[in-house]
Chain A
Amino acid sequence: NAGVTQTPKFRILKIGQSMTLQCAQDMNHNYMYWYRQDPGMGLKLIYYSVGAGITDKGEVPNGYNVSRSTTEDFPLRLELAAPSQTSVYFCASSRRTGGVPSGNTIYFGEGSWLTVV
């Protein structure tokens, strides 16, 4: 199993450009997430999805969009890139638990380093 796969690993964008970060998982997980991590900081949740066709905002959703057309894929779209979006982006997934708020192991992709200049 590949686990969670993200592409690209590195990207430089100019202000105002748009791009999509790709994410795919092969563990048949229902839940998928996008986190961003700024230098020396913790992880902030951008968007999450509980299944195909269902997405919702996390803590820092402004400037981003997501879609979930299949269980496997969860792309993150950056519209009109700004320097404040310079960060490391992690896609992650976990399996469904049936509603118990104890949480599951979250499996992270290797990260995408994005610089906006």
Chain B
Amino acid sequence: QQPVQSPQAVILREGEDAVINCSSSKALYSVHWYRQKHGEAPVFLMILLKGGEQKGHEKISASFNEKKQQSSLYLTASQLSYSGTYFCGTPNAGGTSYGKLTFGQGTILTVHP
């Protein structure tokens, strides 16, 4: 089943913060985050594994709460380069996923000067 992302879209001014959420109705082993610029391929940001760890990529960090079956992506002091569509992806539970991910519908982030 497809994870659900919220919000669908966010508009920010440079320097503002944003949070993007990803929720699943099934048990999660991990959550992956990707960013896609308009007209380009999705690019990997980070993987969050079971254990509630938090990771960071420059001023972008994420948390994963497997009990709540959700992950959040935190964008701090946003830059123009953060604009794009953010996707969370989750592997199939209950066995070998062969790396397959089911992606959320995406959150469009727009950062203005």
Main SS of chain B's interface residues? Answer: loop
Judge if A74 is at the interface, Cβ distance under 8 Å: no
Main SS of chain A's interface residues? Answer: loop
The chain B residue with its CB closest to the CB of A113 is: B39
Count residues on chain A whose CB falls below 8 Å from chain B CBs: 28
**A87-115 Cβ-contact flags toward B at 8 Å (1 or 0):** 00010001111010111111111110000
The size class of the interface chain B forms with chain A is 20 to 34
Q: Are A43 and B42 in contact (CB under 8 A)?
A: yes
Q: Are A101 and B42 in contact (CB under 8 A)?
A: no
Q: Are B98 and A45 in contact (CB under 8 A)?
A: no
**B67-107 Cβ-contact flags toward A at 8 Å (1 or 0):** 00000000000000000000101011111111111111110
Known: A96-B99, A99-B96, A101-B93; 19 extra A-B contacts, CB below 8 A, are: A31-B99, A42-B105, A43-B89, A45-B101, A90-B41, A90-B42, A94-B99, A95-B99, A101-B92, A102-B47, A102-B49, A103-B29, A103-B32, A103-B89, A103-B91, A103-B97, A105-B47, A106-B99, A107-B44
Seen from chain A, the residues whose Cβ lies within 8 Å of a Cβ on chain B are 31, 33, 40-43, 45, 48, 50, 58-59, 90, 94-97, 99, 101-111
